[in-house]
Amino acid sequence: MPESILIVGGGFGGVQAALSLARKKIPDTQIRFIDPKTYFEYHAALYRFATGSSPMEACIPYKDIFENNGVEILQDTACTIDLSKKIVTGASGSHYRFDTLILALGSVGATFGIEGVSKYSYGMTSATEALRLKMHILESFQTATIADVENRKTLMHIVVVGGGPTGVELAGELAFYARTLALEHGLDPTLVCIDLVESADKILGNLPERASRIAEERLRTLGVSVLLNQPLTREEIGKIQLKDKEILTATVVWTAGVCAHPLIQKTVGITVDRKGRATIDACLQANGYENIFVIGDGAATPYSGMAQTALYDGDFVANVIECKTKNHALPIYLPSVPLTAIPIGGEWALYVKQGRIVTGYRGWMLRRFADLQLFMKLLPFSKALRAFRCGYKLEG
């Protein structure tokens, strides 16, 4: 029987690990991955999808990525993992045997038990959530055309909670999109109100002070109200309560928290840190296990939570697996510092790499270059170019 490598999760880390392993053509090896979807989600484009663009750039079919390279795609949801029996069981009832397991399950939204948030907020962690948000905004503006003035203001008021990269890029783009939508619906665009709510005293808390200030200024120029030191304490239908004020709004987008996928924590034998991420050794193997790897957002590495880290991890474990089959010395994981490139409204981005800050259209070009590099990593050249071009076509 061939050596079976099973990858659970077909996001950045899982897809990259599968591609990298397939390229190595290790003899007598079967590579399979499980994911409930039929497509890869490019999270960095979700804000565009939610604000009116087509899903073409954000959702790339697996069949375009794994064209004739021998990787088997299993459409299923992993429900339990038995490390001692080496079996993953899917929601379909199927059992998947493995010799080597790569867990690449990503993150899920976390609302920290704040009253009403999981019930009434919109999330932004997947294409399904972005689509739900998009439809809700369209419906709200449609309803606003027949509402009285007070209700109209509530329907045209959007609150983004969380001043991290996802919240910042979404608020910036909404500033353009919601006003365009108002005009299209014959509504007064000055009634549009976009708030970005942050519990700390600055947005983009992981970036240098100067970068945070530039982003805040850019948002204010676009007409976004940035509310700092304002933790959300409660949400009801049509209303949120912040520390110091109440806001009437039909749309609250929660981007303020994620945690590692719960299946990591649920799997007997895997130890986790306080964020629910697996503790790993110098080869990204779950502590105490040979051939059980955890990568991307689910692994307790210094820069997990970034797509670039997940891609890097995918390549790294493929190398470790190859070295094992060849009885070579195993490489040691050295974290790679990711860059940050956050679009903030139109063709404007904040780019930060090792203290260097580039803003505006130049920042945007650097961000687009990073997008292109990513697509080229995953797709054959012509398809990469097609996915990349969607990012332009959809904008206009």
Ligand X SMILES: Cc1cc2nc3c(=O)[nH]c(=O)nc-3n(C[C@H](O)[C@H](O)[C@H](O)COP(=O)(O)OP(=O)(O)OC[C@H]3O[C@@H](n4cnc5c(N)ncnc54)[C@H](O)[C@@H]3O)c2cc1C
Question: Which positions lie near ligand X, rule CB under 6 A?
Answer: 8-14, 34-37, 43-44, 46, 77-78, 104-106, 124-125, 165-166, 261, 263, 296-298, 305-308, 310, 338
**Closer residue to ligand X (CB): 248 or 366:** 366
Task: Find how far residue 253's CA is from the centre of its chain.
Answer: 15
Q: Give whichever of 154 and 314 is closer to ligand X, judged by the CB atom.
A: 314
Structural contact between residues 40 and 338, judged by C-beta atoms closer than 8 angstroms? no
Shortest gap between Cβ of 15 and ligand X (angstroms)? 8
Q: Do 196 and 227 contact (CB within 8 A), yes or no?
A: yes
Q: Which is nearer to ligand X, 78 or 284 (CB)?
A: 78
How far the first Cα of the chain sits from its last, in Å, is 53
The answer to whether 114 touches 104, Cβ cutoff 8 Å, is no
For ligand X, the closer CB: 43 or 153: 43
Closest approach, Cβ 388 to ligand X, in A, equals 15
CB of 307 to ligand X, least distance (A): 4
Contact 204, 164 (CB under 8 A): yes
Q: Closer to ligand X by CB, 42 or 141: give it.
A: 42
Backbone dihedral region for residue 186 (phi beyond 0: left; psi -120 to 50: alpha; all else: beta) = left
In angstroms, what is the minimal distance from the CB of 258 to ligand X? 7
Please give the Cα distance from 389 to 392 (Å, whole number): 5
Min dist. Cβ of residue 311 to ligand X (A): 8
Comparing CB distances to ligand X, the nearer of 218 and 261 is 261
How many CB atoms lie under 10 A from the CB of residue 312? Answer: 22
List CB contacts of 214: < 8 A, sequence separation 6 or more. 350, 357, 359
Least distance to ligand X, CB of residue 324, Å: 22
Name the residue whose CB lies closest to ligand X. Answer: 11
